[in-house]
Amino acid sequence: METRIRRIYVRLAGLLLAGAVAAPFSSAAIAQSDQELDDIISPDLERREIREAKIDSEDFEFTLYLGGILSVEDFGTDRMIGGSLAYHINEDFFMEAAYAQSTLGESSYERLSGSAPLLTEDERDLSMYNLSLAWNFLPGEIFIGSKFALNSNLYLIGGAGNTNFAGEEHFTYNVGAGVRLLAQDWLALRLDVRDHIFEHEIFGEPLNTNNLSAQLGVSIYF
Amino acid sequence: MNRQLGFRAHRGAVATAALLILGVLGSLSSSVYAQSETAEDEPVSDSFTARQFGERQPQTLSFDSERVIVGAEFLNLYTGPGRGYVIDHVVEYGEPLWLLKRRTDWVKVMTRTGKTGWAKIAELDEIYTAEGEQVAIPTPGIDDFYEQSFRMGFTYGDFAGANSMGISLGYRFTGNISAELRAAQTIGAYSDSQTYQVALMHQPFPRWRLSPYFLLGTGINITSPNATIVATEDRKDTAMLAGLGVTTYLSRRFALRAEVANHYLLTSREENQEIVEWKLGFDVFM
């Protein structure tokens, strides 16, 4: 009985000893296999730092109308002044906020009937603003003679805004097209033709009018 | 006999010359082969044809433009910033370029001979500094949207049945809180009005794809009734504003925004007036 117990002790001690001696070897073996796996698996890539370039952007365009005419239905054609600010979203699209002013002439009714004028002098002042989206759908070059070619854009444009005249506000849609000639990459000449569509009641009943404008402008990118 | 000897000697000379040439060629080709093996771990440097220009610099260079080296096989330069313009110059691997300015997705560059052209940003994905560090051209993206400070907004909407058009100028203090100055003009069948407001916005979850926000504000409404026959007075009322909306990033510098707001007009008449306004618009952040 005693001997059996002693034998068990000896066995236990032996097992413990064996374990204690073997432990570092086994962990070393595991580490070694890890190292081998790492060599096989880990990517042979060096991560490269990427720095951002310090560079100015030039996405805005300011336009001043050198000359413009606005024809308001029944009120004749008059000079228009104004300007616009555009933001170029990408090479295909830009958005533009525009403002323009004009002073209207006499309507044909006033001239022919000889009656009292419909509008006071102040009410003949017209001002409008709009926000439009344009699509550069024909970029290319325009040749002047055989030596010079200017970069150009033909764009379609449309938007919504407000026209104030005859003491009233009129919600106004505009559609049109334009051409831009780039003399330098920061300087351009623009010609726009637009139709401003709004409804007024100056003659007593609602009338939907199409009012055409054409303006020549010089624009600067910044 | 003599002639034969001379001919033979001559032939020997030709043979040795040929051998010499072959030997030189062989050694050259082996050195070229060795070079091509090591070329992969060298940084981008001047190409063979570029060496004849040496360290030439363009004469008309502005002082702040950055010098980079082309790491792609070649780079097309267009006459203008767009697909529709002409490719009139090509820059090859290893040549230096100076970055002048960016417009939309294009960069104006100058070559060492002083020629300028426009390169697509997508094709400038492999440019390096002289130290071999890679350079990227920054373009506006969603990070700028999260880090924005000032923003401009344009809205179109329905103000109790009338067309309303508005602009706003916003400033973001923290990720959640921003302030806005708003101006809108409405054009209706019976009256026109102008509203000017200052509002405070709170975005509880600014990083959500569709991020909701709440709005509190105050301002004035100037209402002018449309009357062509009777002369009427403009009314000026103080307004309180409460609203909620949702904003989502579109692309580049644009975010889309939809909003419903309740205007509570403190009128001088018997009872106050409530107006519900629906708006759809976009923000351009800077």
8 Å CB contact between A209 and A62: no
Q: Please tell me the distance in Å from A138's CA to the nearest CA on chain B.
A: 8
Q: Residue B37 — very low, low, confident or very high, per pLDDT cuts 50/70/90?
A: very low
Q: What radius of gyration do chain B's Cα atoms show?
A: 35
Which of residues 12 through 71 in chain A touch B, CB cutoff 8 A? 48-59
Q: Once rounded to an integer, what is the mean pLDDT over residues B269-283?
A: 88
Percentage of chain B surpassing pLDDT 90? 40
Question: Is B226 in contact with A57 (Cβ distance < 8 A)?
Answer: no
Q: Please tell me the distance in Å from B11's CA to the nearest CA on chain A.
A: 57
Which chain A residues are Cβ-neighbours of B156 within 8 angstroms?
Answer: 160
A51-108 pLDDT, tens digit per residue, is 888 888 888 999 999 999 999 998 889 999 999 999 998 899 999 999 999 998 888 7
Which of residues 91 through 150 in chain A touch B, CB cutoff 8 A? 91, 131, 136, 138-141
Least confident of A128-132, A147-151, B131-135: B131-135
What one-character-per-residue DSSP string does A129-166 give?
EEEEEEEEEEEEEEEETTTEEEEEEEEEEEEEEEEEET
User: What average pLDDT does chain A have?
Assistant: 84
Residues in chain B: 286
Q: Once rounded to an integer, what is the mean pLDDT over residues A9-14?
A: 58
Least confident of A76-90, B20-34, B223-237: B20-34
> Helix (H, G, I), strand (E, B), or coil: what is residue B31?
helix
The predicted structure's pLDDT at residue A183: 92
Which of residues 12 through 71 in chain B touch A, CB cutoff 8 A? 64, 66, 68
Please state the pTM of the whole predicted model.
0.72
Q: Once rounded to an integer, what is the mean pLDDT over residues B191-199?
A: 92
The predicted structure's pLDDT at residue B49: 53
Q: Please tell me the distance in Å from B26's CA to the nearest CA on chain A.
A: 34
The predicted structure's pLDDT at residue B30: 44
Q: Please tell me the distance in Å from A35's CA to the nearest CA on chain B.
A: 26
The predicted structure's pLDDT at residue B33: 44
Least confident of A48-57, A170-179, B155-164, B246-255: A48-57
B109-138 pLDDT, tens digit per residue, is 999 888 999 999 999 888 888 888 888 888
A90 CB within 8 Å of a chain B CB: yes
Q: Once rounded to an integer, what is the mean pLDDT over residues A115-131?
A: 86
Give the whole-angstrom CA distance, residue B141 versus residue B233.
49
8 Å CB contact between A131 and A99: no
Q: What is the largest CA-CA distance in chain B?
A: 139
Tokens for A104?
Answer: 């209207």
pLDDT score of A147 more than 80: yes
Residue A22: exposure state from Cβ atoms within 10 A (0-12, 13-18, ≥19): exposed
Chain A residue with minimum CA distance to B102: A57
Nearest Cα to Cα of residue B253 among B286, B281, B280: B286
Which chain A residues are Cβ-neighbours of B102 within 8 angstroms?
Answer: 55-58
Chain B residue with minimum CA distance to A169: B187
Q: Once rounded to an integer, what is the mean pLDDT over residues A205-214?
A: 93
Question: Is B99 in contact with A53 (Cβ distance < 8 A)?
Answer: yes
Give the whole-angstrom CA distance, residue B119 versus residue B123.
7
Tokens for B165?
Answer: 């058009």
Question: Is B135 in contact with A50 (Cβ distance < 8 A)?
Answer: yes
For B243, the enclosing helix (H) or strand (E) is strand B235-251
The predicted structure's pLDDT at residue A20: 53
Chain B residue with minimum CA distance to A206: B189
Q: Once rounded to an integer, what is the mean pLDDT over residues B174-181?
A: 94
